[in-house]
């Protein structure tokens, strides 16, 4: 447990002190929340504005999770590889999965902070979420599922792309492209049929739609994602991506040649 806790603390502190991770994970989604609020939707009727602002804040909270998992995690692993920290870890009595678990828990703490801050920015600009106490654990559960998928994709990137800049740019690029393609950054209803199908399979998009559905209803979500089949698919896909990430991390990133 000490090893995992040590790795978790290190990971959380490192991320919170990295200007790049603060910008991409917290500032950038927050900027979009503000931009949406003051420009794109400002001409909407006053009575729906708080809900509309809420409905654009949630995707940015999910986007913060995506950037944290897909870009910050690969950045820290690639940095470790490049400066020799990973070689040092491999020489110590540490197993890859303990290191991984510590890193991911540290990232989870940082991601939670990012999500809260983006939500607060949304609230400060007038967004309202209509979150009932009964819905809170469900919403948190979906956020954790979304985090797991993002961290899984990030671990795959970290394992396969050794160059630091390459890992960061791949993570940012993949986050932006998949967010645009899957309806995280655009209304689900505006997607063509093929991308709507992708949005239902892509767990991060499904998580986003589920939270929007719970908070604002089916009109904002574009479809009804809270069905047994859809939720099971989302959880299974997240677990599968995370598992692939862990396997690649221990077999590729920690490979002794």
Binding interface with other proteins (CB under 8 A): 2-3, 5-7, 9-10, 13-14, 17-18, 83-85, 87-94, 256-257
Beta-carbon count within 10 A of 122 CB: 27
- Min. distance of Cβ 175 from other proteins in angstroms? 22
Q: How many CB atoms lie within 10 A of CB 45?
A: 7
User: Closer CB to other proteins, residue 78 or residue 208?
Assistant: 78
Q: Which is nearer to other proteins, 39 or 91 (CB)?
A: 91
Which residue, 21 or 234, has its beta carbon nearer to other proteins? 21
Query: Minimum distance from CB of 29 to other proteins (Å)?
Result: 22
Distance, in Å, from the CA atom of 37 to the CA atom of 52, rounded to the nearest integer, reads 9
* Residue whose CB is less far from other proteins, 107 or 221: 107
Give me the least distance between CB of 252 and other proteins, in Å please. Answer: 15
Shortest spacing between CB 7 and other proteins, in angstroms: 7
- Written as six digits, the tokens of 147 are 């985090």
CA dihedral 117, 17, 69, 131 (to 10 degrees): -10
The residue (of 42 and 83) whose beta carbon lies closer to other proteins is: 83
How far is the CA of 232 from the CAs of 122, 150, 210, in angstroms? 30, 17, 12
Return the closest-CA partner of residue 112 out of 202, 184, 15.
15
User: CB 11 → other proteins: shortest distance, Å?
Assistant: 10
CA dihedral for 127, 118, 208, 102, sign (positive or negative): negative
State which H helix or E strand residue 192 sits in.
Answer: none
Under DSSP, the state recorded for 191 is S
């Amino acid at each position: 447990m000490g090893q995992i806790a040590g790795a978790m603390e290190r990971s959380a502190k490192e991320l919170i002190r990295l200007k790049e991770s603060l910008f991409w994970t917290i500032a950038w989604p927050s900027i979009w929340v503000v931009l949406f609020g003051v420009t794109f939707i400002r001409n909407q009727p006053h009575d729906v504005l708080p809900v509309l602002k809420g409905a654009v804040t949630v995707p940015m909270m999910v986007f913060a999770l995506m950037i944290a998992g897909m870009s910050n995690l690969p950045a820290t692993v690639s940095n470790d590889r490049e400066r020799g920290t990973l070689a040092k870890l491999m020489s110590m009595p540490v197993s890859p999965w303990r290191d991984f678990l510590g890193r991911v828990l540290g990232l989870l703490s940082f991601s939670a902070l990012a999500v809260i801050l983006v939500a607060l920015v949304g609230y400060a600009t007038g967004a309202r979420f209509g979150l009932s106490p009964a819905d809170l654990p469900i919403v948190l559960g979906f956020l954790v599922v979304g985090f797991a998928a993002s961290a899984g994709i990030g671990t795959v990137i970290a394992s396969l792309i050794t160059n630091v800049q390459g890992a960061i740019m791949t993570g940012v690029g993949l986050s932006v492209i998949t967010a645009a393609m899957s309806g995280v950054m655009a209304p689900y209803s505006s997607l063509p049929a093929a991308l709507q199908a992708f949005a239902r399979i892509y767990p991060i998009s499904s998580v986003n739609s589920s939270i929007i559905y719970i908070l604002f209803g089916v009109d904002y979500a574009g479809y009804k994602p809270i069905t047994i089949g859809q939720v099971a698919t989302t959880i299974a896909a997240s677990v599968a991506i995370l598992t692939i990430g862990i396997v690649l991390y221990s077999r590729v990133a920690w490979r002794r040649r």
